[in-house]
Amino acid sequence: MHELSMAAAVVEIVCRHAAGRRVTRVCLKVGHLRQIVPDSLCFSFALVAKGTPAEGADLILEAVPARGACGECGAETEQPAFPLQCQACGAWNPQIVAGDELVVESLELEEVEVGAATQ
Amino acid sequence: MGQLLSNLVVGENVLSANDARARANREQFDQAGIYVINMMSAPGAGKTTVLERTLEYMAGTPRVGVLEGDIQTTLDADRLARFGIPVTQVNTDPGFGGECHLDANMVSHGLRSLPLADIDLLIIENVGNLVCPAEFRVGEDSRVMVCSVTEGEDKPLKYPLMFRSSDLVLINKIDLVPYLGFDLPALLRNLDAVNPGVPRLQLSARTGQGIEAWCAWLIAQRNRVEIP
């Protein structure tokens, strides 16, 4: 259900930017901390996109690992799971600097050729 | 004739439309001098019963209003209406197949049927769900999560998104601990693993244990609001 709501928000953004052009590909950045199930999001996207210019578009997910900046040693290390811990010095609770993303990065669109449009 | 493909850089946060509406709700709350709680939990954790005890304890000061979110029925709003407080129900059913959460837009519609001038503290009771409500800001000042001991000690680790976003965790049904073999220290450890040091209160909406401390927390939050 969570992915369905997210897919609906993605389709809304995509269609607004596409401005009537057909969408062939959508690139989405998904942070590790968003609890998004990729298969579920792709399935929901296909469903919600039906009847819109994004119907049939490929949804490409770029997974962004969680990273934390350590308040003790300053290292920035990957955070695979909770509890968050600096992988360099072992200090607890580094500040999250990546992994919270959920961003529509880019679209691939079909442009109508000038010649074709007038035929 | 070949199709010409172009690449368009967008860089838009998926939740930006919701966040903008949440900010608009927040402005409305600030103008009315209302402190707003977004209360979230799994289904059956006891949100509505906690609210019943809260309304009994507050007895009109501060003036509490409630916005109820549920997929269907007005059962919760009916339970709270007997306290004579402003309460409105938002059914998420007309949304996309029965939305499993409240979003900022639904809350903004619900606000139209609440007398904001007569409310000091608005509690938004979200749809029971441990995942989706955490994603959608609705314009709240604080997020309070009700986590009951019947749900198991591991829930913070399984649903970190919600536990991370909470400002206070109410550990409800604490009177049942002796009968469940529930490992309370383990729950607190898991809570700290996900949201280190998050304020937490143990209570029982059934026996009333801890309700006073919870209401004191609410009143302290409310008193920080500047009255316009």
B12–A17 CB contact, under 8 Å: yes
Q: Closest residue of B to A7, CA-based?
A: B14
With respect to residue A69, please indicate whether it lies within any of the assigned structural domains: yes
With respect to residue B39, please indicate whether it lies within any of the assigned structural domains: yes
With respect to residue B50, please indicate whether it lies within any of the assigned structural domains: yes
Q: Determine contact: B61 vs chain A, CB below 8 A.
A: no
CA separation for the pair B59, B82 (Å, rounded): 12
**Range of B109's domain?**
17-144+208-223
pLDDT at A119: 45
Residues 6+ apart with CB under 8 A from A98: A31, A64, A65, A66, A67
Counted domains in chain B? 1
Which of A3, A60, A7 has its CA nearest to residue A35? A3
Work out the pLDDT band at B109, boundaries 50, 70, 90.
very high
A35–B161 CB contact, under 8 Å: yes
With respect to residue B136, please indicate whether it lies within any of the assigned structural domains: yes
Instruction: Determine the distance in angstroms separating the CA of B128 from the nearest CA of chain A, rounded to an integer.
Output: 13
With respect to residue B38, please indicate whether it lies within any of the assigned structural domains: yes
| pTM of structure | 0.89
pLDDT at B132: 86
Strand B4-13 with A102-111, pairing: antiparallel
Interface predicted TM-score (ipTM): 0.87
**Range of A82's domain?**
2-109
With respect to residue A6, please indicate whether it lies within any of the assigned structural domains: yes
Supply B25's token pair: 């709700």
With respect to residue A83, please indicate whether it lies within any of the assigned structural domains: yes
With respect to residue A115, please indicate whether it lies within any of the assigned structural domains: no
CATH code, B134: 3.40.50.300
Indicate the helix (H) or strand (E) that contains B172.
strand B168-172
pLDDT at A65: 97
Counted domains in chain A? 1
Give how far Cα B219 sits from Cα of A99, B7, B62, B201, Å: 35, 53, 8, 15
Residues A68-113 have pLDDT tens digits of 999 999 999 999 998 899 999 999 989 999 999 999 999 999 987 6
Torsion angle of alpha carbons B26, B31, B37, B40, nearest 10°? -30
With respect to residue B121, please indicate whether it lies within any of the assigned structural domains: yes
CATH code, A62: 3.30.2320.80
Question: Mind giving me the DSSP string for A36-64?
Answer: --HHHHHHHHHHHHTTSTTTT-EEEEEEE
With respect to residue A104, please indicate whether it lies within any of the assigned structural domains: yes
